[in-house]
Amino acid sequence: MHRLKVGVGGVCVAVLVGCFCNAFGVAEGQADEHADHSMRGKILFLRCASCHDVSDSPSAKIGPNLRGVLGRKVASLSGYSYSAALRSQDFVWDAPHLDRWIENPNGVAPGTIMAFAGITAEADRQAIIDYLKSQSAGVGP
């Protein structure tokens, strides 16, 4: 279990971090500032996971399943009802499009119904994109 350097309640924080890391497959010692980049992306993706899934299941949550999103035509996942704003777009999801989308969805598709303000930190966006790439490996568009 990784111990964080904190004052009051340090043991409780260490236990919580250990439980969190174990639940998401983080090996002992990886939860520090030098954590594996892909694991960082996986943890950051939790911001997205309340609405999006990356499992093998074709079902959608509030948002479409993002497994295999890289290389997929925008608004094309069968069985999901996309907003008119997103359906009006004409591109294939690649890293630059995902980066702009994660930073500001309304900047890419004005009027989108996705209720997400965006992530301003470039490193965080890149970690999420890298995680999505890892979830897209071997999945056809």
14: domain range?
1-35
pLDDT at 44 (0 to 100): 95
What's the CA gap between 43 and 33, in Å, rounded?
A: 13
CATH code for position 90: 1.10.760.10
Residues 65-78 have pLDDT tens digits of 999 999 999 999 98
Confidence of residue 22 (pLDDT cuts 50, 70, 90): very low
Looking at the fold, whether 118 and 69 belong to one and the same domain comes out as yes
What's the CA gap between 70 and 93, in Å, rounded?
A: 5
Q: Say whether 4 sits in a helix, a strand or coil.
A: coil
The closest of 65, 103, 68, 101 to 85, measured between CA atoms, is 101
Number of domains forming the structure of the chain: 2
> For 53, left (φ over 0), alpha (ψ -120 to 50), or beta?
beta
pTM (2 d.p.)? 0.72
What's the CA gap between 85 and 93, in Å, rounded?
A: 15
Looking at the fold, whether 95 and 49 belong to one and the same domain comes out as yes
Residues 37-50 have pLDDT tens digits of 778 999 999 999 99
